[in-house]
């Protein structure tokens, strides 16, 4: 058995040993993957699969779904389906940028805090715990409001509020394994702290990181949609699910459901895709740990 | 155990102070040091006489160096002064808005919270007891779907169905406009009970149904998952098996197991409450609920960052208070916690 | 009529990787006021057998077939409610780990008193009174009724578990390695306690991996190997005149203070119960194996009065 897994190995074993394996609960993973991959594909193929320019008036406003406009048109006369397709780009961009940012700050800080302990750990933990206890959406609202509406700014706001999630998880796991035999063996061989952290501790956290990653992406998707619903993410006429939902809200109770229904459905599907993957993985990881 | 509960609460209450200080510092740094001039943000690109700009800066306390601003604002906070609004209506104490808006948010969160806990306990218990069955899978799916529901979308679907299609429930506001209610606490349900106003009670409850269901169902997903996983763990524990071997009745064993499974759930409640407040902002906007959330969103449109800062500090205080209460409940329920 | 008669009991675990035959066609008799110990390595099915008697085999385990007659009634065919009223009242059980077998959130007194309120229907005050008396019987002070489990040591907790199991003076006490988690001195006092109840008329079904411990106080010993009963008899018969090679092996792995004997362990490992070896399950590890052993399964036969063994060497053909 290898003691240290490389991330590549984790991914490979995960794909081979799980996605294709016949184990209970694998359907969750497959459905989740299916949803996420289709939406990513949708974003990539947006120019090909969208029939209209998402930012232009292309027909009469308020048209219900039809063959010509499968999801109807909105109050300006834009094609809702085309906006949904292009909108996937914004939310994916924001969420992945945000996740990359919070991981690249939260994970090293968590490693350092858990590994060295002492005063630096106490200070960092206290700051992170305070942030963690605070409503993420409200903090993100404040930051986004100051930065002004743009997808990159939204990503920064979201990144900020998910740093503690990664920090806490990495710190806890580092504490748990830093005294294990193979880490001590690495010390005994004279490996410097940086090497121990990067080569011996971090790779062993990859399963946990994968779980936290999927679950926090699911969460960030809802946060992004929330921020843009409140008008804090994009400016008109950029297509964006959360914003489009808000724009369609005033017409809902006149019976025009399509402007609200489709964007919101997409938000939920995307979040659900990641949540399903995360749920299936966490079950798998906790099973592996109890064995 | 030695010093008693009072001492425990006191010490735990002291721990709120650093939490709030840290959050205050973070918010302060973010709001002052991030690019963008808040005053210019308020007035926009219009040409404004310099003296009026200076006046605005003074009102916002922005005419002093940052470190003085930091302690200045902190000092005023200690006296319950959250600053004044910077945008229309200009110069109103933020405190006034907190007083008028907070009860609405509190009422919504109390109902939403209760619904989420009850739903979570029910679904989680059913899933754990029927572990491995189709019911269990169903409940796990429920948990995921509920968790990933986008609040505005779900709220609007409920509005569409119950407000438009069935036409049985109000979709916005807290009270029918033609009903008058004397407010005492600002919690309309409580006020109508206190004043014996049946019409207002029915109306305020009817207005609460959809928003609190939206919030409650979305937030219940996390409880379902936690209750299920805890209960599954507990049910496989030795002491449950011991209970069975002693011939204790099944329903009693379930209650003992639930009590044990509930302990970690209490810890989650503090965090959940914070998420609930975030969700409340979206819920309020979706249902035009006149609470803190709609106020913040309003202020964002004006870029009135003084109000935003005040509100966030208030939220920080409120969240800390909730986590204190949760900790005390935890200590009371679990004899293993020493205080 | 014997107190407990286990007849042809089979308990299988239906795991994803195969069916584990943890208890495979085991028959055993326990008389009135008799102490029977079941001895075997971990994983031999001895604990599963004990759980089977109280119908608490954890999933994915299931009782597949067999009868368990207790005072003339089949425990396995009773409905849940009838069986529940017997559990605790006529059959008491003590588990291995005292640290986890009490409810951490309830006072000790309440957990003891619950036996009286549940099975005798008396009110709580009276039940607590009786609980206090009972704690004194097991050597604890009456004040312990107000303690929570986490405030007690392992030995104290095990006393309480025994107090609860014995609260209604059951005819049978099943003890699943009740001393394994405790240190040696505490072990002894717990054994004394159990022996005291035996003197008052209770039969004991004692599960242990420790043959020496079993030999000390039992009337009879049953040796299990890989889900099978391989030898059964009085302590004298089994210890002084072991007939099964596995029992001999177990005896050799016990240090003898007065003899020059070396400790010898049995070579090899117990088999995988999903796919046990054909014939006698012990044959791959047996020094005396003959052709027959790997071909056909030996039956339990009586070699002297009350002394049973399942080994081809002792069967008519073997010699």
- Quick: pLDDT tens for C94-140: 988 888 889 999 999 999 999 999 999 899 989 999 899 889 888 88
Residues 144-183 of C with CB under 8 A from B: 148, 150, 161, 164-165
* pLDDT for the residue numbered A38: 96
* pLDDT for the residue numbered B34: 64
Q: Name all contacts of C66-69 with Cβ < 8 Å and 24+ positions apart.
A: C66/C6, C66/C7, C66/C8, C66/C9, C66/C10, C66/C25, C66/C26, C67/C5, C67/C6, C67/C7, C67/C8, C67/C9, C68/C4, C68/C5, C68/C6, C68/C7, C68/C9, C69/C4, C69/C5, C69/C6, C69/C7
Residues 108-127 of C with CB under 8 A from B: 114-115, 118-119
Which two three-digit tokens encode residue C194? 């159990």
Mean pLDDT of B215-237: 90
Q: What's the domain range around B231?
A: 94-301
Q: Please tell me the number of Cα atoms within 13 Å of A273 on its side-chain side.
A: 17
* Set of chain C residues whose Cβ sits within 8 Å of the Cβ of B249: 84, 118
State whether B148 and A143 contact (CB < 8 Å).
Answer: no
State whether A264 and B153 contact (CB < 8 Å).
Answer: yes
State whether A229 and B282 contact (CB < 8 Å).
Answer: yes
Mean pLDDT of C144-166: 90
Rounded to whole angstroms, how far apart are CA atoms C219 and C32?
11
The confidence band for B338, taking pLDDT boundaries of 50, 70 and 90, is: low
Which two three-digit tokens encode residue A63? 């048209």
* Structural domain includes residue B163: yes
Question: Is the CB of residue A144 less than 8 Å from the CB of residue A157?
Answer: yes
Residues 6+ apart with CB under 8 A from C184: none
Residue of C261 and A141 predicted with greater confidence: A141
* Structural domain includes residue B307: no
ipTM for the whole complex: 0.89
Q: How far is CA C134 from CA C39, C131, C160, C250, in A?
A: 30, 5, 9, 38
Q: What is the CATH number of domain A7-290?
A: 1.10.3720.10
* pLDDT for the residue numbered C98: 81
State whether B256 and C100 contact (CB < 8 Å).
Answer: no
SS3 readout for chain B: CCCCHHHHHHHHHHCHHHHHHHHHHHHHHHHHHCCCCHHHHHHCCCCCCHHHHHHHHHHCCCCCCHHHHHHHHHHHHHCCCCCECCCCCCCCEHHHHHHHHHHHHHHHHHHHHHHHHHHHHHHHHHHHHCCCCHHHHHHHHHHHHHHHCCHHHHHHHHHHHHHHHCCCCCCCCCCCCCCCCCCCCCCHHHHHHHCCCHHHHHHHHHHHHHHHHHHHHHHHHHHHHHHHHHHHHHHCCHHHHHHHHCCCCHHHHHHHHHHHHHHHHHHHHHHHHHHHHHHHHHHHHHCCCCCHHHHHHHHHHHCCHHHHHHHHHHHHHHHHHHHHHHHHHHHHHCCCCCC
Q: Is B186 exposed, middle or buried (0-12, 13-18, 19+ CB in 10 A)?
A: middle
Whether pLDDT at C317 is above 60:
no
Whether pLDDT at B325 is above 70:
yes
Which domains can be identified in chain C, with CATH numbers? 4-90+170-315 (3.40.50.300)
The number of folded domains in chain B is 1
* Set of chain A residues whose Cβ sits within 8 Å of the Cβ of B152: 226, 229, 242, 245-246, 249, 264
* pLDDT for the residue numbered B68: 84
Rounded percentage of chain B residues whose pLDDT exceeds 70: 94
Q: How many CB atoms lie within 10 A of CB C35?
A: 23
Confirm or reject contact between C136 and chain B (CB < 8 A): no
pLDDT digits (tens, 9 = 90+) for B61-114: 777 787 888 888 888 888 888 888 877 777 788 888 888 899 999 999 999 999
Question: Is the CB of residue C307 less than 8 Å from the CB of residue C233?
Answer: yes
* pLDDT for the residue numbered A87: 92
* Structural domain includes residue B5: no
State whether B296 and A267 contact (CB < 8 Å).
Answer: no
* pLDDT for the residue numbered C44: 87
- The partner residue sitting opposite C101, judged by closest CB among B239, B263, B334, is B239
State whether B333 and C105 contact (CB < 8 Å).
Answer: yes
Q: What are B134's strand-pairing partners?
A: none
pLDDT digits (tens, 9 = 90+) for A225-267: 999 998 888 877 889 999 999 999 999 888 899 999 999 999 9
Q: Is the peptide bond before A191 cis (omega within 30 degrees of 0)?
A: no
| Burial B158-173, CB ≥16 within 10 A → b, else e | bbbebbeeeeebbbee
Confirm or reject contact between B239 and chain C (CB < 8 A): yes
Rounded to whole angstroms, how far apart are CA atoms B6 and B12?
10
Confirm or reject contact between C10 and chain B (CB < 8 A): no
**Global pTM?**
0.81
Q: How many CB atoms lie within 10 A of CB B21?
A: 13
Residue of A5 and B305 predicted with greater confidence: B305
Mean pLDDT of chain A: 86
Q: Please tell me the number of Cα atoms within 13 Å of B204 on its side-chain side.
A: 23
Block residue for tokens 């305020």: B204
* Set of chain B residues whose Cβ sits within 8 Å of the Cβ of A252: 156, 159-160, 164
| Burial C186-202, CB ≥16 within 10 A → b, else e | bbeebbebbeebbeeeb
**Touching partners of C (3+ C-beta pairs < 8 Å):** B
Q: What is the DSSP letter of A67?
A: S
Which two three-digit tokens encode residue A132? 């963690």
* Set of chain A residues whose Cβ sits within 8 Å of the Cβ of B31: 142, 146
Per DSSP bridges, beta strands C73-74 and C91-94 are unpaired
pLDDT digits (tens, 9 = 90+) for B177-218: 888 888 888 888 888 888 988 888 999 999 999 999 999 999
Rounded to whole angstroms, how far apart are CA atoms B11 and B338?
13
| Nearest chain A Cα distance for residue B282, angstroms | 7
Cα-based angle B209, B212, A246 (whole degrees, multiple of 5): 100
* Structural domain includes residue B45: no
Q: What are C234's strand-pairing partners?
A: C220
Mean pLDDT of B320-324: 86
* pLDDT for the residue numbered B162: 93
Helix axes A206-229, B151-158, angle to 10 degrees: 50
Element of type H or E holding A148: none
Mean pLDDT of B146-161: 94
For residue A73, give the 3-state DSSP assignment: strand
Whether pLDDT at B118 is above 70:
yes
State whether C95 and B241 contact (CB < 8 Å).
Answer: yes
pLDDT digits (tens, 9 = 90+) for B234-285: 888 889 989 999 999 989 998 999 888 888 888 888 888 888 888 999 999 9
pLDDT digits (tens, 9 = 90+) for A145-179: 777 788 998 999 999 989 999 999 999 889 888 88
Comparing alpha-carbon positions, the chain B residue that sits nearest to A145 is: B300
Rounded to whole angstroms, how far apart are CA atoms B229 and B125?
9
State whether B319 and A126 contact (CB < 8 Å).
Answer: no
* Set of chain B residues whose Cβ sits within 8 Å of the Cβ of A275: 144, 147-148
Helix axes B305-333, B16-33, angle to 10 degrees: 160
* pLDDT for the residue numbered B256: 92
* pLDDT for the residue numbered C318: 43
- The partner residue sitting opposite A253, judged by closest CB among B27, B150, B163, is B163
Which two three-digit tokens encode residue B315? 């939220």
**Of how many residues is chain B composed?**
339
Mean pLDDT of chain C: 86
Block residue for tokens 């470190």: B67
Per DSSP bridges, beta strands C220-225 and C301-304 are unpaired
Q: Rounded to an integer, what is the distance from CA B114 to the centroid of its chain?
A: 12
**Phi, psi (degrees; rounded to nearest 5) at C11:** -125, 120
Name which of B37, B113, B143, B148 to mutate to probe chain A: the one with the most chain A Cβ atoms within 10 A of its Cβ. B148
Rounded to whole angstroms, how far apart are CA atoms A215 and A60?
41
State whether A142 and B26 contact (CB < 8 Å).
Answer: no
Mean pLDDT of C282-300: 84
* pLDDT for the residue numbered B51: 79
Rounded to whole angstroms, how far apart are CA atoms B227 and B210?
25
**Every domain of chain A and the residues it spans:** 7-290
Comparing alpha-carbon positions, the chain A residue that sits nearest to B22 is: A127
CATH number of domain containing B296: 1.10.3720.10
Question: Is the CB of residue B331 less than 8 Å from the CB of residue B8?
Answer: yes
* Structural domain includes residue B186: yes
Q: Is the peptide bond before C193 cis (omega within 30 degrees of 0)?
A: no
Mean pLDDT of chain B: 85
Whether pLDDT at C295 is above 90:
no
* pLDDT for the residue numbered B1: 45
Which two three-digit tokens encode residue A129? 């715990």
Residues 6+ apart with CB under 8 A from B161: none
pLDDT digits (tens, 9 = 90+) for C203-227: 999 999 888 888 888 999 999 988 8
Residue of B19 and C9 predicted with greater confidence: C9
* Set of chain C residues whose Cβ sits within 8 Å of the Cβ of B245: 54, 56, 87-88, 92-93, 95, 165
Cα-based angle C262, C263, C269 (whole degrees, multiple of 5): 145
**Phi, psi (degrees; rounded to nearest 5) at C207:** -105, 125
SS3 readout for chain C: CCCEEEEEEEEEEEECCEEEEEEEEEEEEECCCCEEEEECCCCCCHHHHHHHHCCCCCCCEEEEEEEEEECCEEHHHCCHHHHHHHECCCEEEECCCCCCCCCCCCCHHHHHHHHHHHHCCCCHHHHHHHHHHHHHHCCCCHHHHHCCHHHCCHHHHHHHHHHHHHCCCCCEEEEECCCCCCCHHHHHHHHHHHHHHHHCCCEEEEEECCHHHHHHHCCEEEEEECCEEEEEEEHHHHHHCCCCHHHHHHHHCCCCCCCCCCCCCCCCCCCCCCCCCCCCCCHHHCCCCCHHHHHCCCCCEEEECCEEECCCCCCCCCC
* Structural domain includes residue B25: no
Q: Using 50 as the pLDDT threshold, list the residues of chain A that sit under it.
A: 1-3, 290-291
């Amino acid at each position: 058995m290898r003691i240290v897994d490389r991330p590549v190995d984790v991914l490979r074993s995960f794909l081979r040993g799980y996605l294709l394996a016949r184990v209970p609960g694998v359907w969750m993973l497959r459905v989740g993957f299916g949803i996420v991959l289709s939406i990513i594909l949708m974003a990539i193929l947006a120019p090909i699969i969208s029939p209209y320019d998402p930012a232009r008036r292309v027909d009469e406003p308020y048209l219900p779904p039809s063959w010509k406009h499968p999801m109807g048109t909105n109050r300006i006369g834009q094609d809702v389906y085309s906006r949904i397709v292009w909108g996937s780009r914004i939310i994916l961009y924001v969420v992945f940028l945000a996740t990359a940012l919070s991981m690249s700050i939260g994970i090293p800080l968590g490693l350092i805090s858990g590994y060295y302990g002492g005063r630096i750990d106490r200070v960092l933990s206290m700051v992170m715990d305070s942030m963690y206890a605070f409503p993420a959406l409200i903090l993100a609202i404040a930051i986004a409001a100051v930065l002004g509406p743009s997808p990159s700014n939204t990503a920064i706001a979201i990144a900020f509020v998910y740093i503690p999630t990664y920090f806490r998880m990495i710190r806890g796991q580092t504490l748990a394994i830093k005294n294990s035999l193979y880490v001590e063996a690495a010390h005994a061989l004279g490996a410097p702290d940086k090497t121990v952290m990067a080569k011996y501790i971090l790779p062993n956290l990859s399963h946990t990181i994968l779980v936290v990653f999927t679950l926090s992406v699911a969460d960030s998707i809802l946060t992004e949609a929330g921020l843009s619903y409140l008008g804090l993410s994009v400016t008109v006429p950029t297509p964006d699910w959360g914003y489009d939902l808000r724009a369609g809200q005033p017409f809902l109770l006149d019976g025009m459901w399509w402007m609200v229904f489709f964007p919101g459905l997409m938000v939920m599907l995307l979040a659900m895709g990641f949540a399903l993957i995360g749920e299936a993985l966490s079950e798998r990881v906790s099973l592996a740990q109890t064995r | 155990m030695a010093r008693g509960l009072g001492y425990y609460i006191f010490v735990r209450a002291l721990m709120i102070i650093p939490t709030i200080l840290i959050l205050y510092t973070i918010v302060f740094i973010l709001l002052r040091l991030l690019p963008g001039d808040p005053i210019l943000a308020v007035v926009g690109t219009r040409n404004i006489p310099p003296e009026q700009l200076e006046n605005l800066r003074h009102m916002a306390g922005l005419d002093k160096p940052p470190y003085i601003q930091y302690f200045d604002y902190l000092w005023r906070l200690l006296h319950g002064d959250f600053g004044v609004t910077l945008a229309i209506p200009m110069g109103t104490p933020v405190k006034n808005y907190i007083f008028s808006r907070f009860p609405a948010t509190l009422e919504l969160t109390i109902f939403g919270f209760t619904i989420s806990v009850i739903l979570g306990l029910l679904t989680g218990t059913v899933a754990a007891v029927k572990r491995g069955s189709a019911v269990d899978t169903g409940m796990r799916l429920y948990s995921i779907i509920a968790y990933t529901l986008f609040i505005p979308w779900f709220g609007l679907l409920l509005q569409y169905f119950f407000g438009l299609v069935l036409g049985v429930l109000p979709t916005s506001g807290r009270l029918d406009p033609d009903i008058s209610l004397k407010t005492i606490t600002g919690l309309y349900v409580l006020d109508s009970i206190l004043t014996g106003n049946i019409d207002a009670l029915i109306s305020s409850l009817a207005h609460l149904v959809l928003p609190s269901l939206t919030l409650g169902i979305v937030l219940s997903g996390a409880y379902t998952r936690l209750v299920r996983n805890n209960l599954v763990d507990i049910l496989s524990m030795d002491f449950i098996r011991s209970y069975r071997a002693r011939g204790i009745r099944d329903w009693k064993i379930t209650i003992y197991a639930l009590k044990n499974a509930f302990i970690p759930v209490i810890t989650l409640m503090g965090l959940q409450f914070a998420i609930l407040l975030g969700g409340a902002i979206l819920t309020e906007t979706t249902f035009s609920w006149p609470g803190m959330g709609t106020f913040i969103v309003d202020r964002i449109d004006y870029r009135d960052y003084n109000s935003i800062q005040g509100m966030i500090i208030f939220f920080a205080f409120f969240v800390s208070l909730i986590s204190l209460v949760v900790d005390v409940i935890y200590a009371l329920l679990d004899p293993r916690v020493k205080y | 009529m014997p107190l407990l008669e286990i007849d042809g009991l089979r308990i299988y675990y239906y795991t994803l990787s195969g069916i584990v035959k943890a208890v495979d066609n085991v028959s055993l008799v326990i008389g009135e006021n008799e102490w029977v110990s079941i001895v075997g390595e971990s994983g031999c099915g001895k604990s599963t057998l004990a759980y089977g008697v109280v119908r608490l085999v954890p999933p994915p385990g299931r009782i597949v077939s067999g009868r368990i007659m207790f005072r003339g009634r089949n425990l396995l065919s009773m409905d849940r409610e009838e069986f529940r009223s017997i559990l605790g009242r006529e059959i008491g059980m003590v588990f291995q780990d005292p640290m986890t077998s009490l409810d951490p959130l309830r006072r000790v007194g309440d957990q003891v008193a619950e036996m009286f309120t549940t099975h005798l229907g008396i009110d709580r005050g009276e039940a607590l009174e009786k609980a206090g008396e009972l704690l004194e019987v097991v050597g604890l002070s009456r004040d312990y009724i107000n303690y929570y489990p986490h405030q007690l040591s392992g030995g104290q907790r095990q006393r309480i578990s025994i107090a609860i199991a014995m609260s209604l003076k059951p005819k049978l006490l099943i003890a699943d390695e009740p001393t394994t988690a405790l240190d040696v001195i505490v072990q002894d006092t717990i054994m004394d306690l159990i022996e005291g109840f035996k003197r008052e008329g209770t039969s004991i079904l004692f599960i242990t991996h420790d043959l020496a411990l079993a030999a000390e106080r039992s009337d009879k010993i049953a040796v299990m190997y890989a889900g099978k009963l391989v030898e059964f008899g009085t302590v004298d018969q089994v210890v002084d005149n072991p007939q099964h090679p596995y029992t001999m092996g177990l005896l050799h792995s016990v240090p003898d203070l007065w003899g020059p004997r070396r400790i010898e362990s049995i070579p090899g490992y117990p088999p995988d119960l999903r796919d046990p070896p054909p014939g006698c399950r012990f044959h791959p590890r047996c020094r005396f194996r003959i052709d027959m052993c790997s071909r056909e399964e030996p039956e339990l036969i009586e070699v002297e009065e009350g002394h049973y063994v399942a080994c081809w060497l002792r069967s008519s053909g073997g010699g």
